[in-house]
Amino acid sequence: MYFRYLRRELAGRRKQSIIIAAGMALAVALVIIVNSVAAGMSNAQASVLESVYGVGTDITVSQTPAAPGEGDSGPGGQRFDFDAGAGTTTDGTTTVNQSRLEAARGTSTLDAAALTTVQGVDNVSAATGTLSLSNTTFNGELPDFSQIQANPGAGGGTPPQGGPDGSGGSAFDVDSFTVLGIDPSVTEVGPLSSLEVTDGRMLDTGDVGTDVVVLDSGYATTESIAVGDTLAVAGTDFQVVGIVTSTTTGSDSASNTYIPLDVAQSLSGLTDQVSSVYVQAASATTISQVQADIEKALPDTTVNTQADLASSVSGSLASASSLLSTLGFWLAVLVLGAAFLISALFTISNVTRRTREFGTLKAIGWSNGRIVKQVAGESTVQAAFGAVAGVVIALIGVVVINIIQPTLSATASTAATPSDGPMMGGPGGPMMGGAADAASNAVDLALQAPVSVVVILIAVGLALLGGIFAGTVGGWRAAKLRPAEALRSFA
C-alpha cells in the first residue's frame, strides 16, 4: 500500500515531481562537478609543486642567504683565470681550455651534517641532499701575448700577431650545463622520485665514488650524446650510463646531468656541502611538526612546506583555483540550498493542496506517523530520482571536461622562497649569469577532473537528506491538521 500509494502520487503529479527532481539533480551535479574540478585544480597545483620539489617531497631545507658583508664582491659572474703558461701556443696562437664546476648561480650551500640532523627529526620518513652545480667550459684561441713581453718597447708596442684570425684576434666558446649531485640510494624523495629512465639505467648505490653520469633526455638529444659515450665534467671524463626524463614538466629539481653526490662534492670542492635537503614526512598530519622541529634544529636554514609554496603558484591555474574555491563553492551551496527550499516549498504546497486527502485519511484512522511517513517517502523518492539524475549529469559533465581538457597555465615561482632554494634550470635551460635569478617554472597543464566516489555518496546523501527534510516538514504540517479542520466539507 505504502509504495503503491507513493508511486501513484508521484506519477499523478509528474510535472511537480520532475521540477523537484530537476532541482535536486542540478544541485547534486553542481556539487560533484565543482568538487571534481576543484580536485583537478588541486592535483594540478600539486603537480606544479611536485615539478619544483619532486614527487613525495613534503619539505625542503635550504640555506638562508646572508646579506653581503662590507667588501664582499657578491656572487659575480663566471670567472676564468689563465696564467702566462696556460694553454698551448702554436704559430702565435694560444689554445686554452678550462672547465669549472661550481655551485649554481643563486644557490648557497649548507653543511651536509644538516641532512643527518634532519634524518634524526621525529616523523621524517626519508630525506636526501642534493648539490646543485654548474659546469662551465671555456674553450678558445687567443693571440700569443708573450710577443708583447718579448718586444716591450719596439716602436711604441707592436700588437701581437697570431690568434684565430692571424692578426691578434681571439675566438672562444663558453659552454655550460647543470650538474646535480644526488644520493643514488634515496629514490623515494627528491630528484630521483621524479625521473624515469628512457635508456640505460639510473644511478644506483654501486655508483657512489665513480665517474658515471646520467643525462636528461633533452640535453642528450641536443648534445647528441648516447649511453656509453663520455661527457667531460670539470675536466674529468664521465661515462654516460643512462638517459632519463622528468615525469613532471619543467622540473626545478631536474638537471642536465646527474652524478653521484660524493663525486660532485669532490669535483666542485664543496666537500660535505649540499644545496638542498628534500624531506618526506611520515604522514600529512606530521608535516607541520617536522617543519617546526627542523626549523628549531637548523635555525639558519629556510624550511618550506608544500603549503607554504602553494602561494607561489600563479597564472590561470591559481586564478581558476581561487575562483572555484570561492565562487564555485558558494554556487554549489546556493544551488543546494535552493534545491532544498524548492523541494520543501513544493512539498508544503502539495500538502496544502492535499489537505482534504489527509483529513480523510485521518478520519478513517490513519495515524500522524503514517501520514508523515507517506509524505516523507514521496519527497525522498523524488530527491533520490534527482540524485541519480544529478550523478549521471555530473559524470557526463566530468567526461566532457576530461575530453576538452581545458589548459591552465601555472607559474611556480621560487620568488616566494629564498633565492638559495632549489633554483636549477630545467633540462633545456642551462643557467648562466643572472639568468639564474629569474628561476621559475611556467607550465601548461591540461585540467583533469577526477571523480570521487565519496563525493558522489555525499552529494547523494545530501539530496536524500533534503528530501527527507522537506518531506518531514510537509508531513508534519499535514499530520498537525486536526481532522475536523482538514475536512472542510464537515465545517
For other proteins, the binding residues (CB under 8 A) are: 1, 4-5, 8-9, 11-12, 356-357, 359-368, 370, 482-484, 487, 489-491
Residue 377 or 427: which CB sits closer to other proteins?
Answer: 377
How many residues in the chain? 491
Measuring CA to CA, which residue among 439, 21, 52 is closest to residue 248?
Answer: 52
Q: How far is the CB of 404 from other proteins (least distance, A)?
A: 45
User: Closer to other proteins at the Cβ: 221 or 368?
Assistant: 368
Residue 436 gets which letter from DSSP? Answer: G
Beta bridge mates, 100? 136
CB of 483 to other proteins, least distance (A): 5
d(CA 452, CA 68): 51
Q: How far is CA 31 from the centre of its chain?
A: 24
Residue closer to other proteins by CB (options 296, 488) is 488
How far is residue 338's CA from residue 57's CA, in Å, rounded to a whole number?
Answer: 42
Q: Based on CB atoms, which residue is closest to other proteins, 9 or 58?
A: 9
Q: Which amino acid is at 142?
A: L
- Taking the complex as a whole, how short is the minimal distance between the CB of residue 368 and other proteins, in angstroms? 8
Longest dimension (CA), the chain: 136
CA 96 to chain centre: 44
Our CB check for other proteins shows the closer of 150 and 484 to be 484
Give DSSP secondary structure letters for 101-164. EEEPTT---EETHHHHHHHTSTTEEEEEEEEEEEEEEEEEEEE-THHHHHSTTGGG-PPP-BST
Q: How far is the CB of 357 from other proteins (least distance, A)?
A: 6
Q: How far is the CB of 490 from other proteins (least distance, A)?
A: 5
Matching residue, cell 609554496? 309
The least CB distance from residue 477 to other proteins, in Å, is 17
Q: Which is nearer to other proteins, 296 or 356 (CB)?
A: 356
